Amino acid sequence: MDILVCIKRIPDISGQITLDASGTDIDDSGLGHTTSAHEECAVELAIQTAAATGGKVTVLTLGPAEAVEQLRAAVGVGANDGILIETEDPGAFGPEDIAQVIGDVIRDRAEGGQSFDLVLLGNDAADTGDFQVPIRLAYDLEYPVLTGIQTLSATSGSGGPGAIEAHGIGPAGTEIFSLELPAVIAVQEGGVDPRYPSITGRMKAKKARIAEYAAPEPGAGNPRIGLELPPDTANEVTILGEGPEAAGALVDVLEEIGVIRS
């Protein structure tokens, strides 16, 4: 089973977050970059599934030239090769554009003899919260789609490339799906633990083949009006006193919050 995993270069937002001048994206000028936890799990599921079926894993991203770093990181943990759709302004592409560009690359590869049985994506974008690309891509390819999936395994289908049994968490508990391939699946973190690259994997990643495409001009454009940061939470400190004189006030506070009873 040959699998395509679509990932996104995102800013490492573990620290203070600020917005850019447009107010529609995160200012990443002073930040490092990484891949979201959803997509790390998607890569891990792809590697496990491909290994069990004798297939290969290709990772794809739309972004600047520097996004090759995220592609090579995926190769370092077990993917076979990568595809970079290069643009210096990824923020200009909305979900409809991204889905269209990915679909065009998949069709181009199919014409060249490389077909993907399964396409995995993260359930949503960790930086902007967009969650439309998997569904729009499935619609463009005319493939069935599942979202919120945490684990999956290959099964025998009624013909063609086979089928996938997928598990996700729904409102009533675990949900199990059986899906004929080819298909699109959006992966949510929590089902598997992403692996760390080995020294051998890092060496392989440096030499891995990364195919490059020039991104077309965005068609629909990015419909995002803006992002809004939550207000800062103010911290309040109350000084109860100093030394033994504070003991009574401390007891009153402990009684008030139910730690002790009078």
All domains of the chain, ordered by start, with CATH? 3-214 (3.40.50.620)
pLDDT tens per residue across span 104-137: 999 999 999 999 999 999 998 887 778 899 999 9
**CA-CA distance, 153 to 53, in Å (whole number)?**
10
pLDDT at 20 over 70: yes
Mean pLDDT for 81-99 is 94
Check residue 158 and give its pLDDT.
55
pLDDT tens per residue across span 29-83: 778 889 999 999 999 999 999 999 999 999 999 999 999 999 999 999 999 999 9
Check residue 108 and give its pLDDT.
96
Mean pLDDT for 248-260 is 86
Check residue 166 and give its pLDDT.
97
Residue 261 binned pLDDT confidence (cut-offs 50, 70, 90): confident
Check residue 27 and give its pLDDT.
81
pLDDT at 160 over 60: no
Higher-confidence residue: 236 or 4?
4
Check residue 161 and give its pLDDT.
65
Residue 168 binned pLDDT confidence (cut-offs 50, 70, 90): very high
Mean pLDDT for 164-180 is 93
Check residue 25 and give its pLDDT.
78
pLDDT at 13 over 80: no
pLDDT tens per residue across span 176-219: 999 999 999 999 999 999 999 999 999 999 999 999 999 999 98
**CA-CA distance, 5 to 83, in Å (whole number)?**
10
pLDDT at 159 over 60: no
pLDDT at 102 over 80: yes
HEC readout, the chain? CCEEEECCCEECCCCCCCECCCCCCECCCCCCEECCHHHHHHHHHHHHHHHHHCCCEEEEEEECHHHHHHHHHHHHCCCCEEEEEECCCHHHCCHHHHHHHHHHHHHHHHHCCCCCCEEEEECCCCCCCCCCHHHHHHHHHCCCEEEEEEEEEEECCCCCCCEEEEEEEECCEEEEEEEECCEEEEECCCCCCCCCCCHHHHHHHHHCCEEEEECCCCCCCCCCCCCCCCCCCCCCCCCCCCHHHHHHHHHHHHHHCCCCCC
pLDDT at 91 over 90: no
